A and B are shown apart, each in its own frame.
Chain A
Amino acid sequence: MNFDFSEELIQLRDQARRFLADRCPPAVPRRILEGPEPFAAELWQAIAEMGWTGAAIPEAYGGVGLGRLAVCVLAEELGRAVAPVPFASSVYLATEAILLFGSEDQKQAWLPKLAAGEIIGTLAMAERPGTSDPRKLTASVAGGRLTGTKLAVPDGDVADFAVVAVHGGNGPWLHLVDLHDATVGRETVPTIDPTRSHARISFTSAPVDPLPGATEPESVRKLLDYAAVPMAFEQVGGAQAALDMANAYAKERFAFGRPIGSFQAIKHKLADMYIQLELARSNAWYGAWAVHTDAAELPIAAAVARIAACEAGWFCTKENIQTHGGMGFTWQMDCHLHYRRAKLLGLALGGAREWKQRLVAELRTRNTLGLQAA
């Protein structure tokens, strides 16, 4: 039994934590929240220079070749810091889509630039409120041209290209599209978490470069499975930061002549946060094992990691505000940075409800629990 990260990855995590404590204190996400910049460009550049954007990209394509576990470790620290950078879009989604489904030519063309942070990619998927089932998509490609509109594309206003999910029919379901093309219209939209900007993007006969490996709707699901694991780490990092904030406040804030952290109402609340957090962390680790080994049970591990992370992220960030009392609801305190981000991450890739349905469907299909065939 060796269910832990290697020394090398633990060092990477510690190094990332120190770096972000120094370069991404709460003043950085707050600057993006309150100002006109869509993301922290100087932080993004520093991250790219350290090789984080190429962590999972093989050295042959200009990456560092540390693998997906390294991305998980970094994601947790970015979540803790509420980092306002397009890391999830560019790394968990765009880079992963090319790694999973791209041709050799596409890998050579895109991955070195993604690794260097020279370009930013994203996934354009949602079209309307409700399900994110790829079979319900209406954007489509005909004669090498894409038509359709995507809502709430994360970093859609700053990305250079998008992996666009379409109703592919018999052709590919994922396509690379240059967002600087004249046929692409994009408009920044207000979001629940302005530290991560989003855009509405319309494609009018936009030229596409199809990802040949993405031959079926399940390919889109597979991409979401791979992305759900580092996303779970990012959520766990955010939940941990919220618990740490609540813990520090409970020790310094006095009421009725004693620290509020000495009241069992607060102690048990924080213990419940810790319980949710550690369950989510354990499930995220299992997901990390599954993406690292390309395990057959990845759809189950990813769903479990996702569901637990959504629950922990929501619970810890809302109870952090509650622990802070009225102060927690002020603009001035940082509680809302985590609260906004936790829900945003819980919605990206589809909400927990969809992942629960998918988990049970996978368990039945695979007969993991010795069930009769559905």
Chain B
Amino acid sequence: MDFEDTPAEAAFRAEARAFLDANAERRKPGSVEGYRRGQDAPGAMERAKDYQRRKYEAGFVGIHWPVEWGGRGGTQIQNVIYNQEEAKYDVLSSIFGIGINLAMPTICTWGTQEQRDTFLHRTMRAEIVWCQLFSEPGGGSDLAALRTRAEKDGDDWVINGQKIWNSGAHYSDFGILVARSNPDVAKHAGLSFFILDMKAPGVEIRPIRQVSGSSHFNEVFFTNVRIPDHRRVGPEGAGWKVALTTLMNERHGMRDAPGPDVTELFRLAQEVELEDGPAIDNAAVQEKLAEFYTRSQGLKYTKFRGMTALSRGQTPGPESSIIKVVAANKLQDILSYGLDLIGMAAATMGETMPVGGIFEEALLYSPALRLAGGTDEIMKNIIAERVLGLPQDPRADKGIAFRDIPTGTRR
């Protein structure tokens, strides 16, 4: 039992560090800038694309992909190591996450050689940015209930309908789209998967204002948008299976929730003065700090268990399925307690607030982390059904044609 890299892993880590040192700014210790979503800053997109291109040229994009996908043919653990190191630098690679982590693995698994040739390398070098067009007002957790229509017309498909929660749709070049190609069969059987040119006529993108006030995601409307049939991914009617490949990649990541953690909470407890002195000297505060620290450590070592599996070339065990739900809830609980310590003054936002104001800021974006990429409720269903083997809920929509399924959506 040890926490050390193998010699091969250590050599790879050194290689990653050398590249990052030469191509990115290291994040300052104790800096809180990493929590800010920097996409809106002037020139941010150009800088991000420039970094991504150099990362591609150095062979750090698609690290664990097979060579025939244009990847390095490396291991999962190398990919994790690169991401660990990259997280210490001030770079914006999340913009390319949908293309690299979701769209490309799906297209490489299900798509044609022509689709690979058209999109793969251009995506890897950030010439193409992608968005995901899956969720709808009436189909989120129940994704297969989506209603956007795809109707065959000659060699084209004609798309009508609406998608929602589409991060980055406003700056994306292409989208991966799931639409209903046959409403007369059961809901999972009537879907098809497409590559959509976001600049095509009839695509309208409207930003959604979030709780935090900023707009990183959108609604996308389609009015008679034409997609040539050669942009269909996988067989007609197999869209659900294709989409599952995307979703597996989305949920697979052992993702943490960015924001104030125990280090920041301890710093805050030192800064804040309570009735009887610094908060950190107060026994009630200490008890809460200990609970958060324990949860944070539990998460860290659960990830280490997953990394151990990856290091051996195995798939992480079922315990990795808890990471997202624990991380997102921990963030919300920590920021709420931190704000409570700040007290009346915490109504104020800004960098002059304790620990750079990250507690106030996280209040406003943290709800998203319990929703995006599978809500807490869906994640717990997955744990209950796939890990514990409990039965599915009885479904009211089973075995009937999609068009006959009752629906209700608040607009």
Give the interface of A toward B (CB within 8 A).
1-6, 69, 243, 247, 250-251, 258-259, 261-264, 266-268, 270-272, 274-275, 278-283, 285-286, 288-289, 292, 303-304, 307-308, 311, 353, 355-357, 359-361, 363-364, 369-372, 374
Contact = CB atoms under 8 A, between A and B. Distances in A.
Given A271-B380, A357-B283, A357-B286, A280 B298 contact: yes
Nearest to A286: B301
Contact of A270 (B295, B305, B390): B390
Interface in B1-40: 1-5, 9, 29-30
A264 B301 contact: no
Given A1-B9, A283-B297, A356-B291, A369 B384 contact: no
Contacts of B266: 363, 369, 371
Q: Which of A267, A271, A369: most chain B CB closer than 10 A?
A: A271
B290 A261 contact: no
Top-5 shortest CB links A-B = A279-B298, A356-B290, A267-B384, A282-B301, A271-B380
Contact of B391 (A259, A271, A281, A308): A259
Q: DSSP class of B's interface residues: helix, strand, loop or mixed?
A: helix
B115 interface: no
22 contacts: A1-B4, A4-B308, A247-B389, A259-B390, A263-B393, A264-B381, A267-B388, A268-B380, A271-B380, A274-B383, A275-B383, A279-B302, A282-B302, A283-B298, A285-B301, A285-B305, A286-B297, A304-B298, A307-B291, A357-B286, A363-B266, A371-B267
A360 B388 CA distance: 35
Nearest to A243: B388
A278 B290 contact: no
Contacts of A270: 384, 388, 390
Contact of B385 (A267, A282, A288, A307): A267
Contacts of A371: 266-267, 270, 280
B287 interface: yes
A371 B267 CA distance: 7
A86 B30 CA distance: 48
A250 B293 CA distance: 33
B394 interface: yes
Contact of A261 (B291, B304, B391): B391
Interface stretch (B182-190, B319-327, B339-347): B319-327
B405 interface: no
B98 interface: no
A279 B299 contact: yes
Interface in B336-389: 377, 379-381, 383-385, 387-389
Contacts of A2: 1-4, 308, 311
Contacts of B243: none
Contact of A360 (B290, B307, B390): B290
Interface string B291-335: 101110111111011011001000000010010011000000000
B286 A370 contact: no
Contacts of A361: 286
B388 A271 contact: yes
Contacts of A372: 270
Contacts of A274: 322, 383, 387-388
Contact of B325 (A4, A5, A275): A275
A272 to B, nearest CB: 7
B77 interface: yes
Contact of A3 (B299, B305, B394): B305
Interface in B256-293: 262-263, 266-267, 270, 280-281, 283, 286-287, 289-291, 293
Contacts of B380: 264, 267-268, 271-272
B263 A370 contact: yes
Nearest to B392: A262
Contacts of B294: 283, 304, 307-308, 311, 359
A3 B1 contact: yes
A263 B380 CA distance: 12
Nearest to A272: B380
Contacts of A307: 290-291, 294
B289 A360 contact: yes
A370 B264 CA distance: 10
A86 B3 CA distance: 33
Q: Which of B301, B302, B389: most chain A CB closer than 10 A?
A: B301
A250 B379 CA distance: 19
A274 B380 CA distance: 10
Given A357-B287, A369-B262, A262 B391 contact: yes
B307 A1 contact: yes
B293 A363 contact: yes
Given A2-B311, A283-B301, A286-B301, A304 B390 contact: no
B383 A271 contact: yes
Given A279-B302, A308-B298, A251 B390 contact: yes
A1 B77 contact: yes
Given A1-B304, A247-B389, A262-B391, A282 B384 contact: no
Nearest to B381: A267
